[in-house]
A and B are shown apart, each in its own frame.
Chain A
Amino acid sequence: MLVPKCSADDASAQSLKCPNLIFRFAALAVYWEARAPQETQKDSFWIYLPYHVQSGLLSSVQGEHFNMRKSINSILRRHGLVLAFLIFLAMVAVNAEAFLTPGNILDVLRQVSITGMMALGVTFVVLTGRLDLSVGSLLTLLTVIVVDQHNIVGPFPAIVMTIGAGVLVGAFNGFLVGFIGLNALIVTLAMLSFLQGLVLFYSGGSNVNVNDAQNTWFAVFGRGDFLGVPVPVFLFILGAIIAGLVLQYTTFGRRVYAVGGNETASVFSGVNARWTVFAAYVLSGLTTGVAAIIMGSRVMGAQNTIGQGYELTVLAGVILGGTSLLGGSGSIWRTVIGISMLGFIQNGLLLLGFAYYVQWLVTWAVIIIAVWIDLGAKRGRIFA
């Protein structure tokens, strides 16, 4: 029973007909990896895994005959992204000593904390099968608001106003997309343009700065340290944990997946798809608000173009993590990895001495390859 039996008619297992010893051991290892959950269902960690992980593992051992390619596929599907990320980290670390030092890692995480924070909310929107292109302009607007209001009404009211404005814009997006049923891409594109205009209207075209940058406690969000970890990183990790828990263990999270997976079916099973989409956009506005507070506190000022292009970086991170634009598939930890990957690529290439813009070329290649492999693994074939 231990040695997997190959059938001659299974085309994909042909290569296993005359395996050498190493090959056979490898096959066994993969076989056990894939088989383990089924046999130890009662007495292992297995039962504590989330349901979709369980079903993913189970599906990898479906069928009578052991199929090596299928099993490798299934492992790649589960851990391929992490694997690729680790390989990349190792490759850079070998060539640049400063790369994997705690100081540098914290620096990278601090750099990605703003886009990462925004990406948490955008993940909810993407999971419902919608898009949010307005977050870049919204970040600009909210940063301008928080910095300007800090001078006028003080830090705390400014923070409340910023979060409130973010939620309001998110709610408006959510209303147009969720309740009126307009196309998400166009609505948020229109919002992008509108908010950019609003920024210029509010600021009058000039930059704004915090007057007493040295003395305000507002600095803690962007510049402070907590237990040796920069506060932005701390906020990002905290936000990711909360968002991940909400997505995985609440009814709302389940509904987000349901609406993204099959909206019609979700409506027929009693999910209020409109409210779910609406709430996802509100979350997107909320996290952008938090990101704006970090940004304002870090820079202690705001230009009119401070968030330009961020919507695409955020989306790139979400997509790189493997969250499907069609909705229903993806998760928060994937987004965190995707966004961190973008940050580490940027940082690693600079440490290796490449010109700044080379990172964009590499990002292009990485997005295409990562998404293609992810899709290919899900589909079971590389080409469409």
Chain B
Amino acid sequence: MSHVTDVPTTGPMNTVLTWLLRNHIWVFLALTVTVFSLASPYFLTVNNIGNILTQGAFIGILAIGMTMVMIDGEIDLSVGAILALASALAIGLQDHMGVWPAICLGLLSGAALGFVNGTLVALSGMHSFVVTLGGLIGIRGLVFVYTGENALMVQDFSYTEIPEIYIGPISLTAIIFFATALFFQWVLSSTRHGRETYAVGDNIEAAHDAGINVKRHKIINFTICGTLAAVCGILLSMRLGTAEPNAGKVWELWTIIAVVLGGIRLQGGFGSMWMTIGGVLTLAVLRNGLRLLNTPNYVELMVMGAVLVLALVLDKLLNHGGDGQ
């Protein structure tokens, strides 16, 4: 973990300043919300905020698993493909075995593939980028083979009613996202597994010497990541009523963008779910706000690229010894 060296750490003002420098994504989020509120009358309405939360939740659920893996110093590129497989299984199997068994099997497929990724990383010592890049290609192939290259349609539309539960403007999807994020924040900050996550990401040799079972630990985190990707896939299939084989195609990249925007570093050993939530919300607000302003699609893509580089530069300037190699 790197420290803010310029700022003396005494006094309430400095504490606030340090917190702001560490969590600059929330400052940026507040800024974007202000700008879009001024620019569009439709932005700061209860309905739209509910929309943003629901739209952000899908990438958000992926981002939670990615955060766990990234704090470990690893990366998972296969979440998009796992998502597609889980949604295809949940819709494709429910005619044969009923809705809930199909959902369980979808979740199980995600957990199994995450377990396979983790096991390969732990046993072979290969870079997780290589393992999950292979997984991204292969699992997508699995999806195409299973669906026969067609989009699967849900037969019983009561399936799409399942996530239509709202508390005020907040949908069940968004609630699941926040609940999972808070749960894993608790895991990170208050359990042995969480403490070990930081230890492994920070210095894997030291963690091993300290008696942490590094391999088992990594397998668990990859399994969590795969399971959450499956959760996201199933929620997506409920929302859309279909499972197309290309679902979630570049979502792994958007997920990484959200997590990195939050301030989590690829080297590992640093970060929290608060940062991830901030990154996910910022991404969702930017996408939603730009669409409300009626900007063409390409502006969104270009702004995302620019913001991401800006976030890296800021991180480097504010927190010394930042994300450089």
B133:A312 contact, CB within 8 angstroms: yes
Chain A residues with CB under 8 A of B144: 356-357, 360
- Size of chain B's interface in residues, with CB distance under 8 A? 50
Contact B324 A193 (CB under 8 A): no
Are A363 and B138 in touch, CB under 8 angstroms? yes
Task: Please pick, from B265, B296, B301, the residue contacting A196 in the complex, using a CB distance under 8 A.
Answer: B301
Chain B: which residue is nearest A184 at the CB level?
B325
Instruction: Compute how far the CA of A202 lies from the CA of B289 in the bound complex, rounded to whole angstroms.
Output: 23
- Taking the closest CB of chain A, its distance from the CB of B266, in whole angstroms, is 6
Are the C-beta atoms of A361 and B138 separated by less than 8 Å? yes
Kindly count the residue-residue contacts between A and B in the assembled complex, taking CB atoms under 8 Å apart: 158
Q: Is the CB of B266 within 8 A of A384?
A: no
Residue in B125, B126, B265, B305 with the greatest tally of chain A CB atoms within 10 Å:
B305
Q: List the B side residues contacting A371 at CB < 8 Å.
A: 124, 126, 130
* In the bound complex, CA of A360 to CA of B146 (Å): 13
Taken together as a complex, chains A and B put the C-alpha atoms of A368 and B135 apart, in Å, by 9
B140 within 8 Å of A by Cβ?
A: yes
Q: Out of B130, B145, B309, name the residue touching A319 (CB < 8 Å).
A: B130
B260 touches A (CB below 8 Å): yes
User: Contact at A180–B316, with CB atoms within 8 Å?
Assistant: yes
Given contacts A358-B145, A364-B141, A383-B124, contact A186 B133 (CB under 8 A): no
Complex-state Cα separation, A182 to B139, whole angstroms: 31
Majority SS at the chain B contact face: helix
Beta-carbon contact of A367 and B130 below 8 Å: yes
A352 within 8 A of B: no
Cα–Cα distance between A363 and B253 once the two chains are bound (Å): 21
Given contacts A194-B304, A367-B133, A375-B124, 12 further A-B contacts (CB under 8 A): A129-B325, A180-B316, A189-B308, A193-B257, A193-B302, A198-B298, A319-B133, A357-B141, A357-B145, A361-B138, A365-B138, A382-B124
Interface CB pairs A-B, < 8 A, 14: A181-B316, A183-B323, A183-B325, A186-B256, A189-B253, A193-B253, A198-B302, A199-B298, A357-B145, A363-B141, A371-B124, A379-B125, A383-B124, A384-B124
Partner-B contacts on A (CB < 8 A):
129-131, 133, 176-177, 180-187, 189-201, 205, 263, 312, 315-316, 319, 325-326, 355-361, 363-365, 367-368, 371-372, 375-376, 379, 382-384
